[in-house]
Amino acid sequence: MRNYHVDFKVEKHDVRPTIDQIDAYFRTMHEKHCQLVVCVMSGRNEDDLKQLKADIKDCATMKYGK
């Protein structure tokens, strides 16, 4: 990214996989005018991951996205 003169800051955040925590995280990132968030998800089973993905998409894209 630096080769293309794209300035970025890397921060690691651990967010509990609850809708309230996910919403609070994306609200904070939105208030900080963050333009990119990469989510690495882990879950016990496929249903957990599907729900987590839906919660992240709802907050990141639908609620706080541009």
User: What is the DSSP-derived secondary structure letter of residue 63?
Assistant: I
What is the per-residue pLDDT for 29?
93
The model carries a pTM of 0.80
What are the residue ranges of helices labelled H in the chain? Answer: 19-31, 46-57
Number of domains in the chain: 1
Q: Summarize the confidence of residues 5-20 as an average pLDDT.
A: 88
55 and 22 Cβ atoms separated by less than 8 Å: yes
Tell me how crowded residue 61 is: count the other CB atoms within 10 A of its CB. Answer: 11
**At 7, is the pLDDT very low, low, confident or very high (cuts 50, 70, 90)?**
confident
- Joined tokens for residue 2: 């630096």
Residue 18 neighbours by CB under 8 Å, 6+ apart: none
Domain of residue 43: give its range.
2-63
